[in-house]
Structure 1
Amino acid sequence: MLKSSSASYIRSYDRAIRLIQRHLGDRISIPFRLQLQGCSYQFGDAPPLISFTINDRNGLAALCSFDELKFCEAYMSGSIDIEGDMLQLPGFRSILTDRHVLDYLLSRMLPLFIGQTHTNQKAIARHYERDEDFFLTFMDATRCYSQAVFERDDEKLETAQLRKLEFALSSCLVKPGDRVLDVGGGWGTFTEYAGKRGIRVTSLTISGQSEQYIKDVILKFELPCKVIYQDFFDHAATESYDAIVILGVMEHLSDYHAVMRQFRKLLKPGGRVYLDASAYREKYSKPTFISRHVFPGNHSYFCLREFIKEVDKTEFEVMSVHNDRHSYYLTCKAWAENLDAAKDVIVERWGERLYRTFRLYLWGSAHSFLNHGLEAYRVVLERPAEANLRRQ
């Protein structure tokens, strides 16, 4: 029920319905139900797949603005409730706009004023510097926070994640005793997987929570590994690495020229790079909701075309590229389902707002991968043992 039943609010409700009808016209991509003031209004001819309940004036104003960011923030604050098939929710975006040019410009300009390293630290802290138990409520036992590799849609997430980890390891052609740089160590996924095989992993992270978690993993399993609190672009090594592995971190490394320069500085001739990432065909493009509330800073989806252009300026060779779009859909869907199943625990420990924020993020991501809005790739590079004359 709405918090106010005044006549003026009833008139606002009537105006809102007329405004929505005019705005929609014939552009109803999914049938939905709207509930205001205890009344229910259906849009579309088919049975509604999703239902929105407006709880206060802020929710009504957000809906009538047709602004995607305002709509998301109204849901995050509880001014709007959403029920039904969450995988269909992003289809509602077709009637919303996302034109926050100032947010976009600020995210692009921030590194010019405070530097890329500091920008990365602030952005990573906003997303990752929270109790790791929160993330573990929706991830599987591998703790891998990037796409799994599914062979069947009905596979367990853990099975698909282990397949991806094995692919990353085997693609790099490493053996026990080899040195591997793990960029963005997360919760020690690759460190544990490779370290248990005698591979000496150096894990980089700029999250204090992540650093301590990986230290604990190394001690628990007595791994021949170490973790360093340091940005990838600042890292230097006295001895070249046999391989570099980047699981779901290329979204934070958008300066591909600098990335390739670091690869060349850190990787021995004959060494390989494995990376995977969510991707988009245009560089520096992401919804304002994501940039403001999920991944701030100049985070951007991986752009394969632009990355390959930079690779082509070097002696590095592209050994393989794999399209993981459907696998990332299945991964995000599993995460979102796990998040919903853990709702009561999450709300009790970390609050309703965090649950709602990640609910929008994970279901929205699943929808984008399913409907080709987003892409995902695994890429394997090799630095030839005898480099040709091309240089950056």
Structure 2
Amino acid sequence: MTSDMTVDRAVAWPGVATPPRSPFRAWVAERLFRQAVRTLPVRVLLPDGSRLGAGGMDTPVMRLLRPADFFHRLGVDGKVGFGESYMAGDWTADELAELLTPFAARMATLVPPKLQRLRGLVDRRRPAAERNDIAGARSNIGRHYDLSNDLFGAFLDDTMTYSAAWFSHDGQNLRDAQLRKIDGILDYVGVRAGSEVLEIGTGWGALAVRAAQRGARVTSVTISAEQRELAERRIAAAGMADRARVLLRDYREATGSYDAIVSVEMLEAVGLEYWPTFFASADRLLRPGGRMGLQVITMPHDRMLATSESYTWIHKYVFPGGMLPSVRAIEQAVAGSTGLRITERRTLGQDYAHTLRLWRERFLANWEEIAGFGFDETFRAMWEFYLAYSEAGFRSAYLDDWQFSLAKPA
């Protein structure tokens, strides 16, 4: 069957429109999948009426609509194919995050340990073009954050904050929880009237505005042209243009000296080989006695080491060049590259699960508006999977989110 929609999808989403074929790998993938879900609290329903999984009637359901395509995708490239098959419509679920949570909880054991030793033979390697040198970092960031300010505005709260909120109680609205998070990290580094503050990773300006409203002078650096343009307008609209400026500049190119440095969920885009450079840059820019506030998504250290070279669905479709650190990796990079020391920390992992749930609800509720910006149904499935997949990671505690306070000796 052909149509204009089919042709457009084939052009815009070549990996989705045409499933790969590898009979042997599909055969292996089917057997591994059946083994993996055998003890999971889910139900997998196949077109022939058969059922897989250990879940009862109240557990989430995965409807496998096109098993052959699903298993070929999974067999050819499992770390990309599972999400890609959702984008293609090979399977569906009414409770997507709930379905993905048991998979995330057993991420380390879904593939038998003996077969995990063969990872190097079957996993795709990250493209060299996605290295996070200065040129590569700008390209990687642009592919996500320069998609459309209107897109992000349609599912974020009116602070346009794209990181974990920090909820004080059940029922707190997202905007207030985001401001609480921002205030929390500003308090960690003692931002007050007269402070000279560097923000690494501007977002859309909410933190810069909040710091300036305390009487601080803020320099914020970003490598997203779209974010910089809107952040400057939002800073001006808040009446803070005389106290906060946004520079289109890589963190490695930042100059000056500051009482405080703040970076919220930007380290994930730096890349493992550049973590020492990131922290050394912060150490160079921070005045003696100064403090750094860092918020970052983390994963278990053993999983970080095992997957550090892997190319996944998230890299292909959402965050090219991204790499989540472990808490241990952060501690090692700080100790090995700086004179800073970590003095305080707190976790926002379950807060992030709730934040992502709220974002996904807003994204789906506002889909007609988003489609009007030029995004198609395959993008809708991709973004929904990204938000649900991330929520599942935090719900299962496979992922966490930390705020750190770091101090530089006087």
What is the TM-score when the length of structure 2 is the normalising length?
0.79
CA apart distance, 1:219:
2.2
Alignment pair present for 1:353 and 2:378? yes
SS of equivalent to 2:155 = coil
Q: 1:322 aligns with which of 342, 346, 362?
A: 346
- Residue of structure 2 aligned with 1:258, choices 273, 277, 297: 277
Contact 1:176 1:198 in 2 (8 A): yes
**Conserved in 2, the CA contact under 8 Å of 1:241 and 1:266?**
yes
SS in structure 1 opposite 2:45?
strand
Relative to structure 1, the CA distance from residue 168 to residue 26 in structure 2 (aligned partners, 3 Å threshold; closer, same or farther) is: closer
Cα distance change, pair 235–49 in 1 and its aligned pair in 2 (3 A): same
Q: Quickly say closer, same or farther: Cα 1:101–1:65, change in 2 above 3 A.
A: closer
Q: Does 1:363 align with 2:363?
A: no
The SS at the match of 2:94 is: strand
- CA distance in 1 between counterparts of 2:124 and 2:66 reads 30
More deviation in 272-281 or 218-227?
A: 218-227
Question: Where in structure 2 are the equivalents of 1:165-204 lying within 5 Å?
Answer: 165-204=182-221
Paired with 1:268 and 1:25, the residues of 2 have a C-alpha distance of: 52
Bigger Cα Rg: 1
Residue in 2 aligned with 1:272?
Answer: 291
Corresponding position of 1:77: 88
Following superposition of structure 1 onto structure 2, how do residues 200-349 of structure 1 map, counting pairs within 5 Å?
200-223=217-240, 224-237=243-256, 240-253=257-270, 254=272, 255-282=274-301, 283=304, 285=307, 288-297=312-321, 299-313=322-336, 314-349=338-373
Cross-structure match for 2:43 = 32
Asked if the contact 1:204/1:232 (under 8 Å) is kept, the reply is: yes
Taking the aligned partners of 2:254 and 2:36, their CA distance within structure 1 comes to 55
**Residues 103 and 342 of structure 1, relative CA distance in 2, 3 Å threshold:** farther
Report the counterpart of residue 143 of structure 1 in structure 2: 160
Counterparts in 2 of 1:197 and 1:81: CA distance versus 1, 3 Å: same
CA contact (8 A) 1:276 1:378 kept: yes
Please say if residues 199 and 219 of structure 2, whose CA atoms lie closer than 8 Å, have aligned partners that are also in contact: yes
Partner of 1:8: none
Contact 1:52–1:81 (Cα < 8 Å) also in 2: yes
Aligned partner letter, 1:251:
E
What is aligned with 2:4?
A: none
Moved more, 86-95 or 139-148: 86-95
Q: Higher mean Cα deviation, 137-146 or 270-279?
A: 137-146
Q: Distance in 1 between matches of 2:212 and 2:33?
A: 60
1:133 maps to 150
Match of 1:105 in 2: 125
Question: Unpaired segments of 5 or more residues in structure 1?
Answer: 1-11, 386-392
Seen in structure 2, the aligned counterparts of structure 1 residues 369 and 100 have a Cα distance that, compared at 3 Å, is farther
Identical-residue share of aligned pairs (%): 26
Q: Is 1:49–1:84's contact at 8 Å kept on the other side of the alignment?
A: yes
Deviations 1:307-358 (A, max 9, x none): 2123234332222011222222222222222223223333443111222112
How far does the alpha carbon of each residue in 1:183-220 deviate from its partner, in whole angstroms, 9 at most, with x for none?
A: 11011111121223332111111111011011111222
Which residue in the other structure is 2:20 paired with? none
Q: Return the letter of the residue paired with 2:331.
A: I
Taking structure 1 as reference, are residues 105 and 220 closer, same or farther at Cα in structure 2, changes over 3 Å only? Answer: same
TM-aligned CA deviation for residue 295 of structure 1: 0.7
Which runs of 5 or more structure 2 residues have no equivalent in the other structure? Answer: 1-22
- Superposed displacement of residue 73, structure 1: 1.0
Preserved contact between residue 50 and residue 86 of structure 1 (Cα < 8 Å): no
1:105 match: secondary structure: coil
1:3 maps to which residue?
Answer: none
Q: 1:357 to 1:257 in 2, by over 3 A?
A: same
CA distance in 1, matches of 2:186, 2:378: 38
What SS does structure 2 have at the residue aligned with 1:273?
strand
RMSD: 3.1
Counterpart of 1:30 in structure 2: which amino acid? P
Cα distance in structure 2, aligned partners of 1:236 and 1:66? 43
C-alpha distance in 1 between matches for 2:125 and 2:72? 26
Q: Distance in 1 between matches of 2:179 and 2:110?
A: 38
Letter of the structure 2 residue corresponding to residue 318 of structure 1: I
Q: Report the secondary structure of 2:125's partner residue.
A: helix
Q: TM-score normalised to the size of structure 1?
A: 0.82
- Between Structure 1 and Structure 2, how many residues are aligned? 363
Letter in 1 for 2:315: S
The answer as to whether partners of 1:179 and 1:242 remain within 8 angstroms in 2 is yes
Please say if residues 68 and 96 of structure 1, whose CA atoms lie closer than 8 Å, have aligned partners that are also in contact: no
Compared CA separation, residues 144 and 63, structure 1 to 2 (3 A): same
Structure 1 CA distance, aligned partners of 2:99 and 2:402? 24
| 1:180 to partner: Cα distance | 0.8
In 2: Cα distance, 1:104 partner to 1:57 partner:
22
- Superposition deviation, residue 134 in structure 1: 1.0
Distance 1:380 1:270 in 2: 13
- The secondary structure found in structure 2 opposite 1:83 is coil
- Describe the SS at the equivalent of 2:163: coil
Question: Is the CA contact (8 Å cut-off) linking 2:292 and 2:405 kept in structure 1?
Answer: yes
